[in-house]
Amino acid sequence: VSQSPSKFPSKILELMDGFRASKALFVASKLKIFDHLKDKGPMKAVDIANDIGTSVCGTERLLDACASLGLLEKTPQGYSNTDSANTFLTSDGKYSLHGYIIHSNDHLWPLFTNLESAVKEGGRQNHRAFGKKADDLFKDYYHSQEVKQRFMAAMHSIAHLTARDVATAFDLSQFKSACDLGGCTGALAHELVQVYPNLKVTVFDLPEVIANISYFQPSGQHPAPVTFVSGDFFKDNLPEADLYILSRVLHDWPDEKIHVLLSKISAVCRPGSALLVAETVLDEQKTNPSVAVLQSLSMTEGKQRSGSEYKQLLEKYGFTDVQIKITGNLLDAVLCFKKSLSL
């Protein structure tokens, strides 16, 4: 007689179903269901299906799935957005995650479909997912206007959401100028000038990105306090600044590239200048937070690091007084200072 297990494996069953839940969110976002329901009273499945041109039975199942996942509310009058869907899932909200969700569906999903090969081979699976060789990560993203815009929107949505925590993790009021290397759409830069009105911030990114930033700039601003400069941070001179920022940059690159980048930053820093790194910092066992551990499975040539690994890396390039602030909200912050010559 087989014994029943001592504990029901809820966690495992939840993980087995995780992909269905992710895909339901992705498809509802792609079909712009949350945009459709924004600010509207409850709507019936048949009306939503007619408006967006989908089947009634399929739409009803998707809407019920979204309600079951807590993304929609369902009443006898129909479906409506939860507050969270209005804030994070509509495509034009200030804190919209729509861009990242579409990137997850269109880019990460095909990559993760090939995870088994990725683990066997130890590399990214671009060739299997998209039929091309994994070149420089960003050359992949920027080869077409559509993919580039999608990637920028994805970066923007997370950067915007995390910017306040990153900007306030440390008191940066001592700095007069900052340069956000790989600063993309300027989401963090705009937050920094809000928090530190005397700070001048330059965003430095590839020309393909800088040419496309206008869509992401906050509206109704006085003469932009943020300056955008295009260039390649591995090859070109870096703008002068008291504070350099690398937000979600270090985890993308292999050690040789990081060597080039951190050597360059260290060389342009004057004693007392600082470097702020924004990343999800792993615990010392490197099994948490899972968001960073799971991101590693994309198998870029870079890696996620623990606090002591960031400290060791930064000290190797002449930075000292490395301080780590765990925000608990996706991006943590690491601040360090260029060693003075006498040290």
CB atoms closer than 10 angstroms to residue 285: 7
Which residue of the chain is nearest ligand SAM when measured via CB? 182
Instruction: Rank residues 252 and 309 by Cβ distance to ligand SAM and give the closer one.
Output: 252
Sheet holding 332-338, edge to edge: 226-230, 200-205, 177-181, 243-247, 274-279, 332-338, 319-325
Instruction: Rank residues 116 and 255 by Cβ distance to ligand SAM and give the closer one.
Output: 255
3-state secondary structure of 279: strand
Phi, psi (deg, nearest 5) at residue 245: -125, 135
100 binds ligand SAM (CB under 6 A): no
- Tokens found for residue 278: 């924004």
Q: Identify the CA nearest to 20 among candidates 68, 75, 60.
A: 68
Site for ligand SAM in 173-192 (CB under 6 A): 182-184
Q: Identify the CA nearest to 253 among candidates 243, 264, 238.
A: 264
Part of the chain binding ligand SAM (CB under 6 A), chosen from 59-67, 93-101, 231-239, 314-322: 231-239
Among 113, 138, 286, 301, which residue sits at the site for ligand SAM (rule: CB under 6 A)? 138
Is the Cβ–Cβ distance between 234 and 260 less than 8 Å?
Answer: yes
155 binds ligand SAM (CB under 6 A): yes
Instruction: Rank residues 45 and 200 by Cβ distance to ligand SAM and give the closer one.
Output: 200
What's the min distance (Å) between Cβ of 57 and ligand SAM?
A: 39
What's the min distance (Å) between Cβ of 1 and ligand SAM?
A: 55
109 binds ligand SAM (CB under 6 A): no
Instruction: Rank residues 39 and 256 by Cβ distance to ligand SAM and give the closer one.
Output: 256
**Which residue in the block uniquely carries the two structure tokens 């739409």?**
59
248 binds ligand SAM (CB under 6 A): yes
206 binds ligand SAM (CB under 6 A): yes
Among 33, 65, 159, 241, which residue sits at the site for ligand SAM (rule: CB under 6 A)? 159
249 binds ligand SAM (CB under 6 A): yes
Among 232, 255, 283, 284, which residue sits at the site for ligand SAM (rule: CB under 6 A)? 232
Part of the chain binding ligand SAM (CB under 6 A), chosen from 39-47, 59-67, 155-163, 316-324: 155-163
**Residue 17 contacts by C-beta under 8 Å, 6 or more apart in sequence?**
none
Q: Identify the CA nearest to 64 among candidates 74, 54, 51.
A: 74
Q: Is 251 noted as a catalytic residue in this protein? A: yes
H or E element: which one contains 74? Answer: strand 72-75
Query: Cα–Cα–Cα angle for 221, 95, 191, nearest 5°?
Result: 45
Catalytic residues: 251
List contacts with ligand SAM (CB under 6 A): 138, 155, 158-159, 182-184, 205-206, 209, 232-234, 247-249, 252
